[in-house]
Every structure is written in C-alpha cells, then in structure tokens.
Amino acid sequence: MGYTITEKILGRTTQSGKPVRAGSEIEVKPDYVLGYDFPGYLDLIFQQMKNEFGIKKVIEPERFAIFIDHMVPANTPEEEDLHIVTRNWCAENKVRLHEREGIGHQVAAEAGYAVPGGFVVHFDGHVSQLGAFGTLAIGIHTQLLEAFVRERITFTVPETTRVNLTGILPPGVMARDVFHHLVRVLGPRSCRFQVLELGGFALKGLSLEGLQTITGLAMFTGALTAICNPDQRAIKYAQERCHLNMNPVSSDSDATYAAIHNVDLSNLAPLVVVPPNPAGTAELTEYTGLDVQSGYLGSCASGRLEDLRAAANVLRGRRVAPGFQLHIVPTSQAIMASAAKEGLLTTLIEAGAFVTSSSCDYCYGRIATMTKGQRAVSTGTLNVKGRMGSPESEIFLCNAAAVAASAVEGKIADPRKYLKAINT
Amino acid sequence: MSLPSLHGRVAYIFCEADFDVDQIVGVENIRLTNPDELADCAMQRFDPHFAEQVKDGDIIVGAENFGYGHPHFAPMIGLRHLGIRAIVAESFATGYWREEIAEGFPQIACPGIISCVERWDVVEVDWNTKELNNLTRGTSLPITPYTNSELGMLQAGGLVPYLQKKI
C-alpha cells in the first residue's frame, strides 16, 4: 500500500527518514517552528524555556521564525512592551523576526517557509494554509513549547480524509464558499484529528491564493490541517522564495485514506456562515436584505489580491452606503503594494472603503470593535460570539465580493448582480 | 505509573454536539484568569445552583465534538476550581483536546456515554481495563486509549512537568 503525502513528510522528519503509517507515535523534527507574539503565547514560551528548562537559546535558530502581526500598531504601553520582549528574544537568539510585514501565515509563504514537502509547526491552527503549497503545517497549540526545548517533538501520525473537488466555480462564488460548502457537506467533525487532503480537477481552477483560503480554515472541519499535493504553480512559487532544498512529495495513488469524498462545485452559490457557529453554513440568498452596519475584508483566510480584485469589481464606480463602515485590510504589505500598483486601492478608497496596512487586529475586534446590536459581514476567520466586539454583536462570514456588495447596499447582498465575471 | 483514580458524580451533561465551551463562563468572561472569578461565573446560564451542588471529584459529560469553535482556557479553569476532575464526551474537538490534555486535565473519549448516564449518576474510570463504569446503573463502556505522550502529560500533571521529565 502506498503512503499519503502526510505520511511521507512526517516520515522524512524522523531519525530513520522512512515513511510512516497513520497511528504511529513518532519523534519528528520540524523544518520550521513559527509563532507570533500575543500575551500568554510566545512570551510564556520564552519564560518557560528559561525558568522551567534553563534553556537560554534555541538550537538551530534558522529553523525558527517569529511574526509581529497582532497588536500592530500597539495602542497601550503594555502591548509595545510585549513587542520589545519579542524583538529582544529574536535578536538574542538570532531568530528571524517578521514585523509589520503582514499577517504571519501569509508572510510565512512569502518569506519561503512554505516548502513543498516541508513540515512546519506553529501554535495557531490557521498555519494550515501553507498546505496550499504541499507543506504540512500544523497548529499544535501550547504543545509548541516542545519544539522550543527539544530538537524533536512527539507526534502521532494522523489519518487523512481525501476530498476530490470537481467542477468550475460559477461567477460570484469564491474559494471561501468552497470551504464553507465543505463544512456543510462533510460536517464540522468530519476530519477530527485528521489531515484534510484536497485533490481533484477543480484545484486547477482555483488560484494558490484560493487554496490558501481553503486550507487555512481547515480546523472548522475538525482537521489538524489541510494539504494539497503540490502542483507546478506551488513548486514554482516556493522555489522562488524557499531557503531549503527539498524534494516535493505527493500522495501515492494507492494511499490509505480514512474517507474519500467527491464534491462538485459546479452549482455552488455564494454562502454565508450564520453566527455564532463556524459551521452555520447557509445560502447567502436566505439572508439578503438583512441590515448590516460593518464590513471586514481581510484576515489570514481572505484579503489577498483575488479578494481585493473581487471587491474592486463590485465597488468600481459605486459608493459604500452612508454610515456603513467598510474596513479593507490586505493580508500582507506585499499584497497591499501589488494592489496599489494595480490601482485596486484607489478604486476601493474612492468607493468609500477604509483601507489600512496589514494587521491581525480587525479579525478579533481589537480595532473596529462592534458594539451591542451591530452586525458585520466579514471575510475573517470566525463568527463566534464576541469575536469582533460585543458578545451581542453578530458576524456573518462570506466571500469578499459579498462583503463589497453588502457595503454598497448596507444590507447583506448577493454579489452576482454586480459582477460580470469574477473568476475570469 | 497509572493515572489518579477517577470516581465521582455526573455533575452536568451537555447534550449539544459541537458544544462551544466558552458558553460555560460566557463570552464576556473568557479573558478572566482568576479561578475564583471564573468559578463564580461558571455554569450560571445552565444551572444557577451548580456551584452549591458540585463536589470535588465530579465530572462533566459532553456529546460529539465537545469543544468545537474557538475555545479558551477560562471555562475549564473555572470548572476545575469548582472540583470537576474530568470531562467525558462522545468525542472531542481537536484543538480543545490538545490544549486541555496539555493542561493535565483528563479528557476522556467514551463513545456511547450520552445515552448511558443521567445527571448525578456515580461513575468511575478504570484506567487498567480502559472502561468507564456507571456504578448507579451497573453498566460499562470502553474508553479510547491515550497516546503515550497524552498519557505522559496527564500523569505528569501537564505539558511542562512532562517535558521536564523527558529532557
């Protein structure tokens, strides 16, 4: 029997370097260990290293990369103090620090940590989006500490659920809708403790950015992470950026899967995820006309060029409804620069959008905070209670074009009537 | 070395699948860290008299995919402070499971549990036979075994002491 891409990648990182089977508990050496500073996360790991383990510096600092993407810019002295701790630690440890370059999971791809065939750990599960490039990237939560104090970490090889996507997305339907549709058809516990492996002809019709969106949200199927067998686009993207020389790997045709699903995308329509549950997928048309006061286009899940283009297509020559707050936050500074060169930012700003440099802070309500009774449409990661402010505010997740259409009307709106062809 | 014995009453049953544990303390309280404050707000919306009734050693029972969503540490800090010593559920959400096992807090996957217990039944977990025994009803159910590292974290009392022993 053959091996899955996950079994091959994890096997390579063992001492023997041989492929492993799902269910085995093994010692693996991550190619990269990533994290961002946030109170109780990296600062705690730094303290634990020193105080509980007597370790002053990480070994092989080139395997580590740290991001300052939350609390950017700082708005209290304590937040800036935390950033200073992180900057100092990185300097002392000779670890690369990416500050103010954008949301770390996107910057990780841009900076070359998304190596096809590579194994990456982080505490945050949205790092799964490196799976778009054939990288096995897993959020291991507080257990990331092990990667800071040992060369290897103990890890149980997960089973894999394979999803074959077929069909071409209709206009106005985006990668986000594909993911939310997967949660709808597979269920929020379909891939618990497993890897979600995406395949099928439809992948060719999705951009790498779209695959980042889908893989980045994998946790809401219960999955540890998601991964695609890297195609030529992913390999080319990685080769232009990566510092590690590694052979890309793919699943064997006779690999063993926990389940295989075929999902056709041909008849998909724009979706919303109804609060307060990330599995509350519904047809957007069921909610059109619902008053909405705020819109957020950004996050590690969305906010890339194709999202900005989709919003610009809707907003070109139109205006955001009076009183509506539309926040557009490109996922990285590099994306923002590209959007500026394309003229997208001008279109968005002229339409009345509030466009800002990249930061994680809109996604969890640190800024642009909603109060009781307000409602947002959002391309953020989550719609749980209180995520973007008051527990009595609401978040409807949807695609970037739907956020833009809703901004024009001040109500949840179907983007298809504003678009000629979003996917061309 | 085995795990500490677990013998207590079923203090509450969450029948809702994909249960968001933040509801236990309320989203408005998830940033709290003080165990006393978290114990005060825990379970208020489910049973305002919970704190008076619960005893040290009691357990909580959950349904499928317990801990789905974006769970924080606060709810379980509150429940532990009230005396809850384990969560037994049909199954657990991946992230929640990793976090709470790393806290050294027993999470026990026990398919079938929801239909085999009533609130205030007395149960015990036999780690040797890997069974949960409902002493009130005289029934037993198998529990899902831990991996070695999960067992190590629970035995050591959490991730840090576990890694200290390992290094």
pLDDT surpasses 90 at A141: yes
- Tell me whether residues B26 and A391 touch, CB distance under 8 A: yes
Q: List pLDDT tens digits, range B58-77.
A: 999 999 999 999 899 999 99
Residue A70 DSSP SS3:
coil
State residue A419's pLDDT score.
81
Residue A54 confidence class, pLDDT cut points 50, 70, 90: very high
Q: Please state the rounded mean pLDDT for residues A15-42.
A: 97
Cα distance between residue B167 and residue A274, in whole Å: 46
Give the count of Cβ contacts less than 8 A between chain A and B: 88
Q: What is the ipTM of this complex?
A: 0.95
Share of chain A above pLDDT 90, in %: 98
8 A C-beta contact, residue A311 and residue A403: yes
Of the candidates B23, B69, B26, the one whose C-alpha atom is nearest the C-alpha of residue A395 is B69
Q: What is the largest CA-CA distance in chain A?
A: 63
CB contact under 8 A, A53 and B69: no
- Residue A407, pLDDT > 50, answer yes
Interchain contact, A384 vs B64, CB within 8 Å: no
Instruction: Give the gap in angstroms from C-alpha A140 to the nearest C-alpha of chain B.
Output: 7
CA A175-A22-B71 angle, 5° bins: 55
Q: What is the CATH number of domain A5-264?
A: 3.30.499.10
How far apart are alpha carbons B154 and A4 in whole angstroms? 31
Q: What is the pLDDT of residues B104-119, one digit of tens each?
A: 999 999 999 999 999 9
Nearest Cα to A94, choosing from A113, A66, A72, A71?
A66
Give per-residue pLDDT as tens, A188-222.
Answer: 999 999 999 999 999 999 999 999 999 999 999 99
Is the CATH number of domain B6-166 3.40.640.10? Answer: no
Return d(Cα A119, Cα A10) in angstroms, integer.
Answer: 7
Is the Cβ pair B102, A279 closer than 8 Å? no
- Scanning every residue of chain B, which has its alpha carbon at the shortest distance from the alpha carbon of A54? B164
Residue with tokens 């576990």: B162
Contacts A139 to B, Cβ<8 Å: 95
pTM (2 d.p.): 0.97
Chain B residues touching A141 at Cβ < 8 A: 95, 98-99, 102
What are the residues whose beta carbons fall under 8 Å from the beta carbon of A366, sequence distance 6 or more?
A: A70, A71
* Percentage above 90 pLDDT, chain B: 93
User: Distance between CA atoms of B94 and A224, rounded to whole angstroms?
Assistant: 7
Pick the CATH number of A271-418 from 3.40.980.10, 1.20.1250.20, 3.30.499.10, 3.40.50.970: 3.30.499.10
Partners of B147 on chain A (C-beta within 8 Å) are 25, 156
Beta carbons of B20 and A276 less than 8 Å apart: yes
Are the CB atoms for A400 and A311 separated by under 8 Å? yes
Least confident piece of the model among A161-165, A245-249, B133-137: A245-249
Closest CA to A204 of A177, A225, A231, A226: A231
Say what the pLDDT of residue A342 is: 98
- Higher local confidence (pLDDT), B35 or B27: B35
Number of other residues whose CB lies within 10 A of the CB of residue A131: 32
Tell me whether the omega of the peptide bond preceding residue A171 falls within 30 degrees of 0, making it cis.
no
Output the pLDDT for position A423: 45
Please tell me the distance from the alpha carbon of residue A120 to that of residue A281, in angstroms, as a whole number.
30
Q: What is the pLDDT of residue A84?
A: 98
Give domain limits for chain B.
6-166
- Reported as a single tens digit per residue, the pLDDT across A164-181 is 999 999 999 999 999 999
| Among A108-117, A238-247, A274-283, the least confident range | A238-247
In this predicted structure, what is the pLDDT of residue A138? 98
Beta carbons of A34 and A127 less than 8 angstroms apart: yes
Per-residue model confidence as pLDDT tens digits over A350-399: 999 999 999 999 999 999 999 999 999 999 999 999 999 999 999 999 99
* CB-count exposure of residue A254 (10 Å: 0-12, 13-18, 19+): exposed
User: How many beta carbons lie within 10 A of that of residue A161, not counting itself?
Assistant: 23
Average pLDDT over residues B46-57: 97
Tell me the CA end-to-end span of chain B in Å, nearest whole number: 19
Query: Using CA atoms, how far apart are residues B94 and B65, in angstroms rounded to an integer?
Result: 8
A147 touches chain B (CB under 8 A): no
Q: Identify residues of B whose CB sits under 8 angstroms from chain A CBs.
A: 17-18, 20, 22, 26-28, 30, 64-65, 68-70, 91-95, 97-99, 102-103, 147-149, 159-160, 163-164, 166-167
Q: Across the beta sheet with A281-283, what order do the strands follow?
A: A281-283, A271-273, A394-397, A375-378, A294-297, A325-328, A354-355
pLDDT of residue A73: 97
Q: How many angstroms separate the CA atoms of A422 and A176, rounded?
A: 14
- Contact call for B68 and A279, based on CB within 8 A: yes
Shortest Cα–Cα distance, A155 to chain B (Å): 8
Q: Which of A25, A145, A192 sits opposite B93 (nearest CB)?
A: A192
Contact A141 B28 (CB under 8 A): no
SS3 B89: strand
Q: Where are the domains of chain A?
A: 5-264, 271-418
A55 and A92 Cβ atoms separated by less than 8 Å: no
Q: Is the pLDDT of residue A421 over 90?
A: no
Give which of A382, A384, A390 to mutate to test B binding, by max B Cβ within 10 Å: A384
Cβ–Cβ of B68/A188 closer than 8 Å?
yes
pLDDT at B4 over 90: no
Residue A422: pLDDT band (50, 70, 90) is very low
As a whole number, mean pLDDT of residues B118-122 equals 98
Which residue, chain included where needed, has tokens 């257990």?
Answer: A143
* B22·A154 Cβ contact <8 A: no
Averaged pLDDT of chain B: 96
Which residues have CB under 8 Å from A49's CB, separation 6+? Answer: A55, A56, A58, A145, A148, A149
Kindly report, residue by residue over A287-337, the tens digit of the pLDDT: 999 999 999 999 999 999 999 999 999 999 999 999 999 999 999 999 999
pLDDT band with cut points at 50, 70 and 90 for residue A420: low
